[in-house]
Amino acid sequence: MNLRDVYVIGVGMTKLYRKAPVSIDELGRQAARDALKDAGIELKEIEEIAVGNMIGLSKTICLGQRIGITLGCQGIPIKNTEGACSSSAVAAHMAWERVATGLNDVTMAIGVECLSSYRAGGTAFSPDLNDPEAIHGMTMPGLYAMRAKRYMHDHGATKEDLAMIAVKNRKHATVNPYSDFRTPLTVEEVLNARVIADPFTLLMCCPNSDGGAAVIFATKEKAEKIGKKLVRLAASTITTGIFNNSFRDMTYMDITYRCAKKAYDMAGLGPEDVDMVECHDAFVVGELLYYESLGFCKHGESAEFLRRGDADYGGKVVFSPRGGLLSCGHPTGASGAAQIVEATWQIRGDAGERQVPDCKVALTHVTGGGVYGTENAICTIHILTS
């Protein structure tokens, strides 16, 4: 079928807190309120809302409905969705789909998480304990650490390269008022932090954080009527992991390669057109692997790509201009929407000191992990253009 063009007409985000001063539903409500204010529209113009949250962690029931009701919604459909770290990117996809297919003209996606209220600090996040690898003690830092070890073995990346990613993303976050992690870091500090899962130290892993983010999508007609700088959602794609428990190269992120191809095809663009990326840098090696699987360099060449400065301001593409998950923290269920909020600000030219010069195309990418036999359970990519 022919899909309609979809535009982002409003975005809102709370600060991403180490520990939020308010409850999870209030984080969602504040983000939604700010998105409405940004769009300059009335709540009653929103026809449907999709809410992403890691329900398995938050143990909430009807969270989206709670947010919608306290926001003042008068009975519109509200849908809750979960996809681990990509929960609210899935919500964005659902909200996009309603407008793209013509079922609605204006929809909202909200992502929200309040990890400090339900996850003990100092613990490693692990997949569902029904998973045969989780039963044996696999954690998410452990899984990515194994990727890092094998990547270093096969392609000559070093611990210093891994540390450089944490340093780069922190440098970006120092000028991001939404981040609670803004003290600059050095390579030595990153390398000397305590080891979580060899070769990762604490500072090579994203911190927990709390926050809410909201995005309002609409038709071109509606977007033009609002009169703000147009931001088009040129691609919204989801892929699922394919089972393979025989030999596989765990540094080749097949699910992201597939999702990126779909997204570039949908947008009619390629990696050479992209000005900035917010990717799933939950652990430093993620960013290295995504330089490759998002098409910016060949498999095995990402350490060189990083060392040349190609992933930073002044290089080929700016990775993690807001600081990424590594330096904004990772409010898991909120991160997918938070990335889209950042991409929108960057394309509008509203990103302040962290503005990517002349940003015309922004890509956001977040996966969700934790099903054995796959590199990731789910992958989501959004491409926004001016």
Residues marked active site are found at 85
Shortest Cβ 241–other proteins spacing (Å): 11
Shortest Cβ 290–other proteins spacing (Å): 19
The footprint of other proteins on residues 319-378 (CB under 8 A) is: 372-373
Residue labelled with tokens 């459909």 = 77
Q: Does 194 bind other proteins (CB under 8 A)?
A: yes
Tell me the pairing of strands 48-52 and 378-385: unpaired
Applying CB under 8 A, the span of 71-79, 82-90, 124-132, 215-223 interacting with other proteins comes to 124-132
Specify whether the CB–CB gap between 52 and 380 falls below 8 A. no
Q: Does 130 bind other proteins (CB under 8 A)?
A: no
Q: Which residues of 195-226 are buried (b: 16+ CB within 10 A; e: fewer)?
A: ebbebbbebbbbbbbbbbbbbbbbbeebbeeb
- Give 104 or 374: the residue with its C-beta nearer to other proteins: 374
- Residues 121, 115: Cα–Cα separation, whole Å: 9
Shortest Cβ 207–other proteins spacing (Å): 13
- Residues 292, 294: Cα–Cα separation, whole Å: 6
Shortest Cβ 246–other proteins spacing (Å): 4
Give the tokens for residue 147.
Answer: 């990727």
Q: Does 135 bind other proteins (CB under 8 A)?
A: yes
Q: Which residue in 134, 166, 285, 303 binds other proteins (CB under 8 A)? A: 134
Give the tokens for residue 228.
Answer: 């703000």
Q: Which residue in 122, 227, 314, 357 binds other proteins (CB under 8 A)? A: 122
- Residues 150, 156: Cα–Cα separation, whole Å: 10
- Give 88 or 374: the residue with its C-beta nearer to other proteins: 374
122, amino acid identity: G
Q: Does 314 bind other proteins (CB under 8 A)?
A: no
Shortest Cβ 161–other proteins spacing (Å): 17
Shortest Cβ 190–other proteins spacing (Å): 16
Specify whether the CB–CB gap between 54 and 90 falls below 8 A. no
Q: Does 123 bind other proteins (CB under 8 A)?
A: yes
Q: Which residue in 10, 83, 111, 142 binds other proteins (CB under 8 A)? A: 142
Q: Which residues of 346-385 are buried (b: 16+ CB within 10 A; e: fewer)?
A: bbbeebeebbbeebebbbbbbbbbbbbebbbbbbbbbbbb
What's the start-to-end Cα distance of the chain, in Å? 24
Q: Does 59 bind other proteins (CB under 8 A)?
A: no
Give the tokens for residue 166.
Answer: 């944490």
Q: Which residue in 61, 74, 120, 183 binds other proteins (CB under 8 A)? A: 120
Q: What is the secondary structure of 165-234 as a DSSP string?
A: HHHHHHHHHTT-TT-S--S---HHHHHHSPEEETTEEGGGBPPB-EEEEEEEEEEHHHHHHH-SPP-EEE
Specify whether the CB–CB gap between 45 and 323 falls below 8 A. no
Q: Which residue in 4, 18, 79, 149 binds other proteins (CB under 8 A)? A: 149
Q: Does 255 bind other proteins (CB under 8 A)?
A: no
Q: Which residue in 74, 75, 243, 358 binds other proteins (CB under 8 A)? A: 243
Applying CB under 8 A, the span of 43-51, 188-196, 279-287, 338-346 interacting with other proteins comes to 188-196
Applying CB under 8 A, the span of 108-116, 133-141, 171-179, 264-272 interacting with other proteins comes to 133-141
Shortest Cβ 27–other proteins spacing (Å): 25
Q: Does 124 bind other proteins (CB under 8 A)?
A: yes
Residue labelled with tokens 């990613």 = 165
Q: Which residue in 105, 133, 160, 301 binds other proteins (CB under 8 A)? A: 133
Q: Which residue in 76, 191, 238, 250 binds other proteins (CB under 8 A)? A: 250
- Give 103 or 135: the residue with its C-beta nearer to other proteins: 135
To 5 degrees, how large is the angle CA 365–CA 285–CA 89? 15
Residues that bind other proteins (CB under 8 A): 120, 122-124, 126, 132-139, 141-142, 145-147, 149-150, 153, 194-199, 243, 245-248, 250, 372-373
